[in-house]
């Protein structure tokens, strides 16, 4: 075995990169769930964002357009879910699954001619002398733009939910939609906006995979990342910073498993590839044992049907 | 002004009309998508829905395929419908399907090359057991720790896929396969194979099991107290508890039955049409069966027809793939759309649309 390839510095840097897609998607889903909606279609929105961002980047050669296209595509997909669940009163679980299946199909249909194409390189911001600081330079100032966007999204969501009036309304809708409705808040509109934000964030997370992390387009490339994002929201007990920590932890596990494969540990690669999923299950069990029920912090109206009587 | 008014009971007419309307809307939606992609929509739709059944050159191959593809879908969907009725969401049938196949296949390979009548029944038992065991993981975690069964059962799919890879590259690899991944082909091992029972129909033991499963499901739901509790638990969990339903039992039963049937589907597929354990053994039946279950309104007879229809899209998709160059996953877009429209149509099932302000409040 050769452990010398595992330098702690580059490990931390790649861990951050590995966690970004899940961090973005999970933060988006956090907002959706805080508004009382359970959207299981994260995987479908992510993969649509991945293909849309990829195509936009290849065709326009512009990163800004690629990012916008990914977010818009994810958001557009989430609108299907939003309209169906909010206005046509369909079952959240089934509709989310439909979204995932549909997204996987559509993305592969649209991305048919883009497999094997190389996307343009994503630029990194210049921090000048800051980037030359021995250790911090690499693990804080060495990333592409989207990494900073992801962390700013976490910060923004935290500020929004904890300190803004709109965030308070969103949480009220998620905790008790009947009371919020009685107070005159537009439950459906609030939820639709939350769903669209979740879609945009998931789309962005997908684009991070296809444009930066891999970077290539292959069918079904999200490989369950959307589902893991859903688990991370539970893991983070619906708190932005814990969701961020969960995503980083998960990025670390994924990375460790890849590195162990690279150093040639005497274990079949397939067993190592199971690790992220096994750990997700263990974490879910640990969380659900600690708080009886889903979690003490789960939005009270999560996934419950809303039908105002007047 | 347009309002929605809740119906006292689900509309009987709409429970038949909704699936048909959803299929119709999907055809229109599919035509739109394909024309946006620059294909001739009429050509694509006839290739998918018409030629497999009625084209004289293709139907000889395609018609038996219909039952071959419908069999696993119906088997899995029959089990899933039970849990979906009770609000127990087993999303990991794909994993249970894989593990059932691995268990059953391992039994067969352990006996190889011995011949005997008892080998196939033992494989069937092992296949069901494998599926049940895999489904019991989310069941026990949900009962004991209240862990969300949706996420656990789904994570187990990814684990099962890796397990399948490990098995087809390792323990179950064909020792005479000159190093290629994949097990011995069970189609050439008489005692372990699951051949077509009537030539040219595509019916194998799995098809008969699927029909039997639907019949049992019907009896269970309409004639047995457990079925009553399952239906009640989905509609009103509180009422179910008052009527003596035990939530833990329902979770274990629904997950166990759906896992067992998915495992059987995997075993029959392995011993029959597929033949060997290989990395690409699973093709998504476990996920598509979710659509079949909903399209069939979680009803045994409905599932039978839904399974046949969705099997048709699989075969049509294959044809469109090699005749028109559509990617294999295009059919997933179709299936996802079908489920969307179906869920949208459910609105008419439970609600009445009221025009004007004079409606009853």
Q: Does B152 touch chain A (CB under 8 A)?
A: yes
Mean pLDDT for A291-308 is 68
Task: Identify the pLDDT of residue A309.
Answer: 58
The per-residue pLDDT for range B90-131, each reduced to its tens digit, is: 989 999 999 999 999 999 888 878 788 888 899 999 999 999
Mean pLDDT for B276-288 is 84
Best B162, B173, B357 residue to mutate vs chain A (most A CBs within 10 Å): B162
pLDDT grade for A265, boundaries at 50, 70 and 90: low
Task: Identify the pLDDT of residue A48.
Answer: 93
* Option in A93, A105, A288 nearest B146 (CB): A288
pLDDT grade for A45, boundaries at 50, 70 and 90: very high
- Least Cα separation, residue B249 to chain A (angstroms): 18
Using CA atoms, how far apart are residues A221 and A46, in angstroms rounded to an integer?
10
Mean pLDDT for A156-166 is 91
Q: Are B41 and B34 contacting, i.e. CB atoms less than 8 angstroms apart? A: yes
The fraction of chain A above a pLDDT of 70, given in percent, is 86
pLDDT grade for B359, boundaries at 50, 70 and 90: very low
The per-residue pLDDT for range A81-131, each reduced to its tens digit, is: 999 888 888 888 888 888 988 898 888 888 877 877 777 777 777 666 666
Task: Identify the pLDDT of residue B235.
Answer: 76
Using CA atoms, how far apart are residues B257 and B261, in angstroms rounded to an integer?
6
Supply the mean pLDDT for chain B: 84
Task: Identify the pLDDT of residue B233.
Answer: 80
If one compares A307 and B53, the residue with the highest pLDDT of the two is B53
Q: Over 60: is that where the pLDDT of B360 sits?
A: no
Q: Over 80: is that where the pLDDT of A139 sits?
A: no
Task: Identify the pLDDT of residue A119.
Answer: 77
Task: Identify the pLDDT of residue A5.
Answer: 56
Q: Over 50: is that where the pLDDT of A169 sits?
A: yes
In the A/B pair of chains, how many CB contacts fall below 8 A? Answer: 153
Task: Identify the pLDDT of residue A234.
Answer: 83
Q: Which of B130-134, B324-328, B353-357 has the highest mean pLDDT?
A: B130-134
If one compares A280 and B195, the residue with the highest pLDDT of the two is A280
Using CA atoms, how far apart are residues A219 and B284, in angstroms rounded to an integer?
14
Q: Over 60: is that where the pLDDT of B361 sits?
A: no
Cβ-defined contact of A284 to B336 (cutoff 8 Å): no
Q: Does B327 touch chain A (CB under 8 A)?
A: yes
- Least Cα separation, residue B71 to chain A (angstroms): 21
pLDDT grade for A310, boundaries at 50, 70 and 90: very low
Supply the mean pLDDT for chain A: 83
Q: Does B172 touch chain A (CB under 8 A)?
A: no
Task: Identify the pLDDT of residue A1.
Answer: 44
What are B354's strand-pairing partners? B3
Task: Identify the pLDDT of residue A3.
Answer: 54
Mean pLDDT for A244-265 is 79
| DSSP codes, A124-179 | ----GGGGGSTTHHHHHH-S-HHHHHHHHHHHHHHHHHHH-HHHHHHHHHHH-HHH
What does each C-alpha distance from A300 to A36, A132, A252, B280, B283 come to in angstroms? 7, 48, 32, 42, 38
The per-residue pLDDT for range B183-234, each reduced to its tens digit, is: 788 777 777 777 777 777 778 888 888 889 999 988 888 888 888 888 888 7
Radius of gyration, CA atoms only, chain A: 20
| Cis? peptide before B113, omega within 30° of 0 | yes
ipTM value: 0.84
Candidates A291, A162, A149; CA nearest to A239 is: A162
Q: Over 60: is that where the pLDDT of A296 sits?
A: no
pLDDT grade for A194, boundaries at 50, 70 and 90: very high
Q: Does A307 touch chain B (CB under 8 A)?
A: yes
> How many Cα atoms sit within 13 Å of A207 on the Cβ side?
34
Q: Over 60: is that where the pLDDT of A12 sits?
A: yes
Mean pLDDT for A181-191 is 86
Best A114, A281, A287 residue to mutate vs chain B (most B CBs within 10 Å): A281
The fraction of chain A above a pLDDT of 90, given in percent, is 23
Mean pLDDT for A213-233 is 84
**Considering only alpha carbons, which residue of chain A is nearest residue B287?**
A101
Helices B300-324 and B205-223 pack at an angle, to 10 degrees, of 140
The per-residue pLDDT for range B47-103, each reduced to its tens digit, is: 888 877 787 777 777 788 888 899 999 999 999 999 898 888 898 999 999 999 999
If one compares A195 and A214, the residue with the highest pLDDT of the two is A195
**Considering only alpha carbons, which residue of chain A is nearest residue B39?**
A109
Using CA atoms, how far apart are residues A232 and A287, in angstroms rounded to an integer?
11
- Least Cα separation, residue A168 to chain B (angstroms): 27
Using CA atoms, how far apart are residues A163 and B352, in angstroms rounded to an integer?
41
């Amino acid at each position: 075995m050769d452990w010398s390839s595992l330098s702690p510095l580059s490990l931390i840097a790649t861990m951050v990169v590995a966690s970004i897609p899940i961090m973005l998607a999970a933060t988006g889903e956090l907002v959706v769930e805080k508004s009382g909606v359970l959207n299981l279609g994260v995987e479908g929105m992510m993969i649509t964002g991945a293909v849309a961002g990829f195509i936009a980047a290849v065709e326009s050669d512009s990163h800004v357009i690629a990012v916008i296209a990914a977010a818009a595509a994810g958001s557009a997909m989430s609108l299907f879910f939003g309209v169906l669940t909010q206005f046509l009163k369909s079952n959240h679980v089934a509709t989310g699954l439909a979204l995932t299946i549909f997204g996987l199909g559509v993305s592969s249909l649209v991305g048919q001619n883009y497999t094997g194409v190389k996307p343009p390189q994503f630029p990194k911001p210049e921090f000048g002398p800051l980037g030359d600081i021995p250790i911090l330079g690499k693990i804080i100032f060495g990333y592409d733009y989207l990494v900073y966007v992801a962390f700013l999204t976490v910060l923004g969501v935290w500020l929004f939910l904890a300190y803004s009036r709109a965030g308070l309304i969103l949480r009220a809708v998620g905790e008790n939609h009947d009371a919020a409705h009685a107070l005159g808040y537009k439950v459906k509109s609030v939820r639709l906006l939350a769903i669209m934000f979740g879609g945009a964030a998931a789309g962005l997370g997908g684009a991070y995979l296809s444009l930066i992390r891999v970077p290539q387009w292959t069918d079904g490339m999200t490989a369950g990342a959307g589902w893991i994002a859903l688990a991370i929201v539970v893991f983070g007990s619906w708190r932005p910073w814990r969701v961020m920590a969960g995503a980083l932890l998960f990025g670390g596990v994924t990375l460790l498993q890849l590195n162990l494969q690279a150093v040639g540990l005497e274990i079949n690669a397939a067993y190592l590839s199971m690790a992220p999923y096994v750990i997700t299950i263990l974490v879910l069990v640990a969380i659900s044992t600690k708080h009886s029920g889903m979690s003490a912090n789960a939005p009270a109206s999560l996934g419950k049907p809303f039908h105002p009587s007047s | 002004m347009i309002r929605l008014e809740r119906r006292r009971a689900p509309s009987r007419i709409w429970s038949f009309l909704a699936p048909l309307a959803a299929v119709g809307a999907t055809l229109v939606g599919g035509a739109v998508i394909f024309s946006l992609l620059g294909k001739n929509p009429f050509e694509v739709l006839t290739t998918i829905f018409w030629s497999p059944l009625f084209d004289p050159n293709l139907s000889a191959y395609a018609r038996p395929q219909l039952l071959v593809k419908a069999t696993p879908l119906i088997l899995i969907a029959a089990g899933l419908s039970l849990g979906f009725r009770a609000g127990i969401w087993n999303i990991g049938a794909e994993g249970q399907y894989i593990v059932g196949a691995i268990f059953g296949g391992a039994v067969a390979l352990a006996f190889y090359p011995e011949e005997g009548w008892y080998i196939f029944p033992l494989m069937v038992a092992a296949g069901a057991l494998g599926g049940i065991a895999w489904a019991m993981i989310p069941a026990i975690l949900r009962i004991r720790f209240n862990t969300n069964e949706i996420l656990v059962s789904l994570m187990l799919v990814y684990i099962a896929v890796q397990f399948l890879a490990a098995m087809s590259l390792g323990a179950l690899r064909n020792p005479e396969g000159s190093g290629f991944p994949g097990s011995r082909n069970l189609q050439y091992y008489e005692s372990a194979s699951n051949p077509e029972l009537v030539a040219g129909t595509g019916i194998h033991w799995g098809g008969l099991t699927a029909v039997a499963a639907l019949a049992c499901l019907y009896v269970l739901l309409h004639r047995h107290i457990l079925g009553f509790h399952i239906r009640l638990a989905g509609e009103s969990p509180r009422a179910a508890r008052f009527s003596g339903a035990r939530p833990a039992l329902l979770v274990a039963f629904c997950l166990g039955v759906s896992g067992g049937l998915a495992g059987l589907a995997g075993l029959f597929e392995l011993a029959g049409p597929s033949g060997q354990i290989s990395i690409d053994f699973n093709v998504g039946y476990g996920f598509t069966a979710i659509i079949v279950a909903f399209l069939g309104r979680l009803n045994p007879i409905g599932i039978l027809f839904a399974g046949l229809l969705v099997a048709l899209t699989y075969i049509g998709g294959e044809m469109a793939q090699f005749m028109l160059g559509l990617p294999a996953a295009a059919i997933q877009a179709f299936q996802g759309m079908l489920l969307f429209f179906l869920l949208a149509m459910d609105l008419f099932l439970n609600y009445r649309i009221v025009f004007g302000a004079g409606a009853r409040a």
